[in-house]
Structure 1
Amino acid sequence: MRFTKDHEWVALDGDVATIGITAYAAEQLGDVVYVETPEPGRALKAGEGMAVVESVKAASDVYAPLSGEVVEANADLAGAPETVNAEPESGGWFARVRVADRAEYDALMDRDAYDAFLETL
């Protein structure tokens, strides 16, 4: 898994990346009540908003950690947005994206670097 400073995580399997928000982000948001995932077929650029998550505390954009094409969205989140809180770094994923540039993935933080980043917040 790799991580961004915006608290997204990426798990790569071949050329397809699964993307979600970290446990830290889910905890900061509080109880998630709504999730809007990107449409399959949508082209993403690293850094642009790709999804929206709303909680009892706030609404927040989820940013694409890398560029590529959305191949699948987690349709289960529409009926069970609380999955983002219960399983933020597994079942609460937002989208699967066919990666355009592997170097973008390689440039993201590993778990140790992300944990060190969290200590600075």
Structure 2
Amino acid sequence: MALAFPALAEPLAVPSGQTVTLAEVLSDENPGALWVRFRFLAPEIARENGKVAPDEAAADMDWLCTNLVLPYLIRHGLSPARVVISLSDRAVPFGVADPTATQFFESYRPVDGRCIWEEF
């Protein structure tokens, strides 16, 4: 069962120059270990009319992990095995496929105050 944590409603500027908004933080046991998912709205990654390329979005997710996710985990006393950061150009309910949405995902292991990128 997933647990939801309050999201930050304030837009946040990231290195690519786009502004993202934390829409949702979900916590679940997957598979048998705590995973915390940070879901961001990032309209600038849209296929049509978007201004941020996938490699720029990946760098933004690295930055978000270090500058937002790690402090959030400490503040909420969470020690997950994995963190997943997703960017979506529009709101899409968790677990629902939307072929019209542009979405990027990255997975990290938080280790010793750092985010270690993990290939899915």
| TM-score interval for Structure 1 and Structure 2 normalised by the shorter chain | 0.3 to 0.5
What is the TM-score when the length of structure 1 is the normalising length? 0.34
What is the TM-score when the length of structure 2 is the normalising length? 0.34
